[in-house]
Structure 1
């Protein structure tokens, strides 16, 4: 449970950093930011694998760059679902996906991976 909460916090930190650095990403409060991180985790766990399989040929053709667009679409979906979190366009969504991904990756290193061993 603590790993799950830590991942939510690192996701929220990534979204906050994206909102701080990018003019097209914003949130209205810390609660909306935490809910956005939770929704992003749920969307990435449920919807992203399905879309990944459906768009696998496109991912192969673009040598994996399509995954950035897919991640941006997941952040855009969260922004669409949550009124307190906004992303205004594809470029801010792509950059937010990169920033959030890097911060989440650092978070996974900090918390450690449960699949080791």
Structure 2
């Protein structure tokens, strides 16, 4: 039977490893962080373009760069496979970083113009 534990060569020392959906793990190591799932599950669940971004590791696919981790997380949430509110909140926060709708539009404060308005 193949070993499905996270590979220390890829992740480094495992700091945390939590099952975020059945057979799908969010891993934080000292070398990298991301999502690991079986190749079979990835083929069933993920769009082909997203699954192709995974790094093969034995019977698993590992998504360790920020983009692929975000794409996988979004897809898992979209399909209702992840219901953990903390994970969903993190995914939403990541989306907001790139969304112009959430841009605060802060501008440098100009004291001279402020005094003129008063």
By the TM > 0.5 criterion, same fold? no
Which one has the bigger strand percentage? Answer: 2
Higher helix share: 1
If asked which structure has higher relative contact order (CA below 8 Å, sep 6+), I would say: 1
TM-score for both structures, normalised by structure 2: 0.28
Larger radius of gyration: 2
